[in-house]
Amino acid sequence: MLVNLKNQFIILFFFMFSIFSCGKEDTTIPSIIINKPLSNDSFQIPTNINIVGSTWDDNKIDRIEIDVVSENSATIIQKIELDADTNYFEFNISFSLIDRLINSDNYFINVKSFDENDNFNSEYVPVYINEVPKILQSTYYIISTNNLTNLYEIDSLNNLHLKCQKPGNYNISIGNSRHQYLFIGTDEIVESVEPLFYTSLWDLSSVTSLSYNFTGVLKSDDGNQLFVGHEDGRIFTINKDGNIINSIYSNNQDFFGKFFVDQDLVLVESKTNSFDKKLVVFF
């Protein structure tokens, strides 16, 4: 009886060893060729981009993913996925690129191929994408009279056309062509208006103290953020939707003067009185 159990154990062990020794793990990644676009091809938005190529593997290709990414790996289109289920797969896909917010720069067409064991490979083709050409649409002139701030558009003959009125005396303003709005600050309101019907896009009057003067307004290099300074020692960072996403407050109840923004650094003139002034750096 003991001999039989021993023999059964040996047979079972040999059977299990045979199974594991025969099951070799697949680590081979798929191969990819991109025939189109060619390296360093140039595109002018709006445009259609056609991507042609093939991918293959000793196991079945499960799917491929196509994307366009910037040099810092940020995606600029919605990722395209294609099912394959074959050892050799040819792809020929076109998509439109019409986003006016894309900046002129170097980008990469990225094609990623996955086999059925989830091994994958990526191929990149560098391309240059030119942004939508910027055209001067309008010039504006702002005048304050009788506790009203008037926004005028100047036509080609230098005639003024009143477009909207805002309560209060004018303080600051800036235009944002990237996100198509005019930012206006008076001693009564803080809001942005769109340049078509001149309706308010967002209003920060209720969350921004208007008891003190503004010290300035700046725009980030990409146009996605505004920096609004207040004399009472506050600088707000506002995104394109009018949300305050960051705040800087002075120390020891200091007052703020002019300020400058350089990437992650904010340089501010800080003062406790007209004689005690210093330059403060926030980061």
Query: 142-193: per-residue pLDDT in tens?
Result: 999 999 999 999 999 999 999 999 999 999 999 999 899 999 999 999 999 9
Statement to judge: residues 178 and 277 lie in one domain: yes
The DSSP bridge partners found for residue 175 are 182
Residue at 63 is within a domain: yes
Same domain, 124 and 178: no
Question: Do residues 212 and 272 share a domain?
Answer: yes
How far is it, in rounded angstroms, from Cα 47 to Cα 248? 42
If asked whether residues 120 and 187 sit together in one domain, one would say no
Tracing tokens 């490979």 back to the chain, one arrives at 121
Q: What is the CATH number of the domain that holds 227?
A: 2.130.10.10
State how far the Cα of 279 lies from the Cα of 270, in Å rounded to an integer. Answer: 6
pLDDT score, position 24: 60
Q: Pick from 48, 96, 41, 86: which is nearest to 64 by CA? A: 86
pLDDT at 152: 97
Question: 78, 100, 130 — which closes off a domain?
Answer: 130
Residue 12 is assigned to a structural domain of this protein: no
Residue 148 counted as domain residue? no
Which among 113, 130, 147 is the end of a domain? 130
Domain count, the chain: 2
Are 114 and 186 within one domain? no
User: Does 120 share its domain with 185?
Assistant: no
Q: Containing domain of residue 79, as a range? A: 31-130
Low-confidence ranges of the chain (pLDDT < 50): 1-3, 5-22
Element (H, E) at 5: helix 2-22
Which long-range contacts (C-beta less than 8 Å, at least 24 apart) are formed by 240-247? 240/176, 240/179, 241/202, 242/192, 242/201, 242/202, 242/203, 242/204, 244/204, 244/207
Q: DSSP characters for 23-53?
A: -PPP-PPPEEEEEESPTTEEEESSEEEEEEE
